[in-house]
Amino acid sequence: TQRPGACNGGEFGYAGAYPSEYLKLTAHYMNSPILVTGASQRVGLALAIKLAQAGHTVVSASRSKIPPAHPNIIPFQADLCSERDREALIEYLRTRYDGLRAIVHNASLWLDDDLDNLNTMFKLHVEAPYHLNLALGEQLLKLDKSDIIHICDETSSRGSKSHIGYAATKAALQNMVLSFAETFNNIAILASVPLAVRLLELKGPPATLWVLGIGLGIGAWFTVLDWFASRRSDEALPLRD
């Protein structure tokens, strides 16, 4: 049963998307859709439309109930923070289709730091992809070629002082990509950092490496500054007998 979800907050969009040309369409995949989560707006919606225009059947999973933006898009209303809603989505895909061409984990929340929001973001960024990947792995393995794409964030490698929980849960997602790559040997497991992907598509490898290098350099610089600050703080502490 499809029903409205109850995740706190709203979806967070990114400036960039994974190139739809990567997901090639053949007759063998006609009854094996692509699942895109968080596809009611922004990048998720744009990606779903792009894939649908390429001829794919796209199951668009999101909390919001919206009309399909393309004849090839099938909306499924689900709150991915809810295990019951995820089970309903899994059952729908297993019973309606022969297999699954790909999963694109795009659903995301950008919430302020507190324990309730951390729990919500963990459910959406970590628990939901973990659950869907394990439950739908058999559907993916029915095809000769299938993919799982995780939309990550550059804060996962450098952290964020203003959104600690968001960066931490995105870092957990990025780490989980490595584990699933070891688990599903016959499935392409990918992590996409949208800005880098967009630059790769438009400007080629040199521009992408340049941006990634700057990001790593900034992260290293802040790490050094933090180390010096913590060292001075330790030196300033009074000694106790």
Question: Which residues are the active-site residues?
Answer: 166
Token pair belonging to 85: 């809603």
CA 199 from centroid of its chain's CA atoms: 19
